[in-house]
Amino acid sequence: MKAVAMPTVSRVAVCGGTHGNELAGIYLVREMLKKRADGTEPVSVVTVMSNPRAAQLCVRYVETDLNRCFTRAALSAPVSETSPYEMIRSQELNALLGAQRSVDLLCDLHNTTANTGLCLITYSDRDWICLHICKHLQACTNTKMASTPVRYVHFDIPLNEAYSLDSVGKHGFAMEIGPQPHGVVRSVIFSAMQEGVQLMMDWICQFNSGTLFEGGWVDVYTMVKNIDYPRDSETHMISAAVHPDLQDRDFCLLHPGDPMFLCFSGETLRYRGKEALYPFFINEGAYYEKGVALSLARKRRVQIPSVRSETLR
Amino acid sequence: MSSRTNISCLQEAKRVAIFGGTHGNEMSGITLVNMWIQNSAEIERNGLVVKPFISNPRAVEKCTRYIDTDLNRAFTPENLSAPDVEGLPYEVQRAKEINRMFGPKGSSDAYDAIFDLHNTTSNMGSTLILESSTDLFNLQMVHYIKKAMVPHTCSVLLNEHPQLKYSTTRSVAKHPIGLEVGPQPQGVLRSNVFESMRTILKHALDFIELFNSGVEFPPCTVDVFRVQERMDYPRDTNGNITAMVHPHLQDCDWEPLNRGDPMFLTFDGRTVLYEGANTVYPTFINEAAYYEKQQAFMTTCREILAAYAIRKACK
């Protein structure tokens, strides 16, 4: 593949607290906000607490999930004082980080109760900036990152239907790290997130100063479908838990016939799909209300070109 | 030659309740109780009535710990005797209602036993929580459950501390027992945690059935962890935490913590060591609900409690 020249990544946004109970990002953003910028930084970084009211209350959201409020429709809807808080906030964040003054890269920090390790989650499987950042995190043999697997997760949704905060930047991803209960900060998770953000910034600085990053291959997990819990037909309450053989096995291939759910009645329900797929977000606490017990992805190797910034110093 | 003295004759335990959803986001108990409300076959036993009950239904509906105030701290004498006026916090109203249905606390009309089902984000495994070191019925039951669960372990936490003891939902009963199983995130149901809690209850009800049928339980001892102290996070002048539970302490519930062992790790990478003179056994390490209660973990000390033999009182 030919080397690709790309614009510098001059403005970066790091956002935490998009969900107010995902604490690693909240504490990391607080720490970053304490350090005053002195103008000598090679990259301009905007650090934002996305949902301060939810963070204050330590809840995912106050009225509606902020990370679903970034659709074209939501961002252009008329809002008033009586609109849901998160609808007002998404428009504020878009004005700050998107629209005319769109940041070059937006990194949105999240935690999950699922055993996902570190995932960069994005809408594109050919955004070379995001893919190179992933490759850089994976390559680092630092002791902290070495114990946290790093993966690239792709939601194949057209950009005009994107709904999450990371879609307001020219490039963007959610940096999702688990497992961590909501409302808890675990030091290994915090350290992994701090390390991940630092490595991302290191890559951006090197890229902006003209370094050529060699191409290669990155495994991309593309979301195929969600699976809900079995539910009682009348009460709609769940009638099974994720099977112990599947629990915590994010990104371990799930084959047709493998156990998926253990019913309260004792019965095992098995995966009925024809195709072996990679499960992830297995048993995420916030997804019960969204009807998702786990998501399933296809994995493929994506070739990425060498890249270099087009504006050299 | 066995002595026929020192057997405590205790009243039968005919009225038993199982509470789920005292905290509306602790899913194992909520799921078990809802299941048993639909179909109680599994919890039926001869010689006793077992009532499954959702203690905080509004919190359960919102999948939140509480609406106005923590129900599991609300059963104080002041709250239970508060007049029925408008504007009472939801959980205080609920506490009064529960006290009417299952108490009154301290009276002979109160339920014999209440099992209150809880989950924790801490790595406590299966834990039974007692409020008294002299409740022979409870000590014998806990001994029975621990034996029945072998090779699985079940820890016993005793909170008899004058300042740190709190007025629990289950305290309206003559014999209150807390079940705490973790680690499980709030709002999440983990199969292994769910099944452990289910098994503990099975053994508990078996014990009561046996006791009510006249079986004598010989003298026994129970290893417990007695609550000593609450340890808070280091905080700044605004009250924000400045450190996290150290990775060496995280998930090490019930393991000895000695002077000089790492305790906290600040956000800027500095280690804070435990300075206490004696070895302690920490528990409730990094429980989500306790950040607002100023508690990173609790320290306990190990103790062996003795219980006399017991059997049902003859009429």
A227 found inside a domain: yes
User: Which residues from chain A sit within 8 angstroms of residue B189, using beta carbons?
Assistant: 238, 241, 283
pLDDT mean over B14-42: 98
Interface check for B267 against chain A (CB to CB < 8 A): the answer is: yes
Task: Count residue pairs from A and B with Cβ separation < 8 A.
Answer: 83
Question: Is the domain of A58 the same as that of A89?
Answer: yes
Question: Is the domain of B219 the same as that of B235?
Answer: no
Asked if pLDDT for residue A141 goes beyond 70, the answer is no
Kindly state the percentage of chain B with pLDDT values over 90: 96
pLDDT mean over B238-253: 97
pLDDT mean over A184-209: 96
Cβ <8 Å between B191 and A188: no
Q: Could you tell me the pTM of the whole model?
A: 0.96
Residue B164 confidence class, pLDDT cut points 50, 70, 90 = confident
Average pLDDT of chain B is 96
Residue A40 contacts by C-beta under 8 Å, 6 or more apart in sequence?
none
B173 found inside a domain: yes
Question: Is the domain of A182 the same as that of A213?
Answer: yes
User: Which residues from chain A sit within 8 angstroms of residue B62, using beta carbons?
Assistant: none
Interface check for A3 against chain B (CB to CB < 8 A): the answer is: no
We report the CATH number of the domain holding residue A275 as 2.20.25.160
B299 found inside a domain: no
- Which of A182, A198, A220 terminates a domain? The answer is A220
Interface check for A188 against chain B (CB to CB < 8 A): the answer is: yes
B66 found inside a domain: yes
- Which of A220, A250, A281 terminates a domain? The answer is A220
- Total domain count for chain B? 2
We report the CATH number of the domain holding residue B285 as 2.20.25.160
Residue A313 confidence class, pLDDT cut points 50, 70, 90 = very low
Question: Is the domain of B200 the same as that of B116?
Answer: yes
Question: Is the domain of A99 the same as that of A20?
Answer: yes
Question: Is the domain of A252 the same as that of A136?
Answer: no
pLDDT mean over B150-158: 97
B72 is in an annotated binding site: yes
Question: Is the domain of B141 the same as that of B267?
Answer: no
B14 found inside a domain: yes
User: Which residues from chain A sit within 8 angstroms of residue B242, using beta carbons?
Assistant: none
CB A258 within 8 A of CB A276: no
Question: Is the domain of A180 the same as that of A276?
Answer: no
**Look-up of token digits 């062992």:** B261
Give the pLDDT of residue A195: 94
Cβ <8 Å between A242 and B291: no
What's the ipTM? Answer: 0.94
Question: Is the domain of B194 the same as that of B282?
Answer: no
Question: Is the domain of B243 the same as that of B124?
Answer: no
A272 found inside a domain: yes
The 10s digit of each residue's pLDDT in B104-144 is 999 999 999 999 999 999 999 999 999 999 999 999 999 99
Print burial letters for B61-88: b (CB count within 10 Å at least 16), e (below 16). eebbbbbeebbbbbbeeebbeeeeeeeb
The 10s digit of each residue's pLDDT in B181-233 is 999 999 999 999 999 999 999 999 999 999 999 999 999 999 999 999 999 99
pLDDT mean over B3-23: 91
Cβ <8 Å between B244 and A264: no
A313 found inside a domain: no
User: Which residues from chain A sit within 8 angstroms of residue B35, using beta carbons?
Assistant: 264
B73 is in an annotated binding site: yes
Question: Is the domain of A91 the same as that of A112?
Answer: yes
The 10s digit of each residue's pLDDT in A224-270 is 999 999 999 998 999 999 999 999 999 999 999 999 999 999 999 99
Closest CA of chain B from A124, distance in Å: 30
Question: Is the domain of A177 the same as that of A231?
Answer: no
Question: Is the domain of A98 the same as that of A169?
Answer: yes
Cβ <8 Å between A183 and B286: no
Question: Is the domain of B282 the same as that of B206?
Answer: no
A176 found inside a domain: yes
Cβ <8 Å between A182 and B194: no
B170 is in an annotated binding site: yes
Give the pLDDT of residue A146: 60
Give me the residue from A179, A182, A264 closest to B186, CB to CB: A182
Domain span at B67: 7-224+305-312
Question: Is the domain of B118 the same as that of B256?
Answer: no
A308 found inside a domain: no
The nearest alpha carbon in chain B to A193 belongs to: B267
Q: Length of chain A in residues, anyone?
A: 313
Active-site residue (options: B180, B195, B216, B229): B180
Pick the residue with more confidence: B166 or A134?
A134
Residue B1 confidence class, pLDDT cut points 50, 70, 90 = very low
Cβ <8 Å between B244 and A283: no
A312 found inside a domain: no
Cα–Cα distance measured from residue A183 to residue A186, given in angstroms and rounded to the nearest whole number: 10
For testing contact with chain B, the best of A184, A186, A261, A283 (most B CBs within 10 A): A184
Question: Is the domain of A142 the same as that of A67?
Answer: yes
User: Which residues from chain A sit within 8 angstroms of residue B246, using beta carbons?
Assistant: 187
B298 found inside a domain: no
Question: Is the domain of A91 the same as that of A211?
Answer: yes
Question: Is the domain of A123 the same as that of A211?
Answer: yes
Question: Is the domain of B116 the same as that of B62?
Answer: yes
Cα–Cα distance measured from residue A114 to residue A294, given in angstroms and rounded to the nearest whole number: 9
Cβ <8 Å between B187 and A286: yes
Show which residues of A are catalytic: 176
B245 found inside a domain: yes
For testing contact with chain A, the best of B244, B248, B249 (most A CBs within 10 A): B244
Question: Is the domain of B206 the same as that of B156?
Answer: yes
B214 found inside a domain: yes
Cα–Cα distance measured from residue A126 to residue A156, given in angstroms and rounded to the nearest whole number: 11
Interface check for A60 against chain B (CB to CB < 8 A): the answer is: no
Question: Is the domain of A144 the same as that of A178?
Answer: yes
B272 found inside a domain: yes
The nearest alpha carbon in chain A to B32 belongs to: A264
The 10s digit of each residue's pLDDT in A21-79 is 999 999 999 999 998 766 677 788 999 999 999 999 999 999 999 999 999 999 999 99
Cβ <8 Å between A181 and B245: no
Asked if pLDDT for residue B2 goes beyond 70, the answer is no
Question: Is the domain of B215 the same as that of B288?
Answer: no
We report the CATH number of the domain holding residue A80 as 3.40.630.10
The 10s digit of each residue's pLDDT in B252-276 is 999 999 999 999 999 999 999 999 9
Asked if pLDDT for residue B314 goes beyond 90, the answer is no
A292 found inside a domain: yes
User: Which residues from chain A sit within 8 angstroms of residue B265, using beta carbons?
Assistant: 187
User: Which residues from chain B sit within 8 angstroms of residue A58, using beta carbons?
Assistant: 291-292
- Total domain count for chain A? 2
- Which of A220, A251, A281 terminates a domain? The answer is A220
A253 found inside a domain: yes
Residue A99 confidence class, pLDDT cut points 50, 70, 90 = confident
The nearest alpha carbon in chain B to A229 belongs to: B189
Give the pLDDT of residue B162: 87
Domain span at A166: 4-220
User: Closest by alpha carbon to A121, among A196, A228, A217?
Assistant: A196
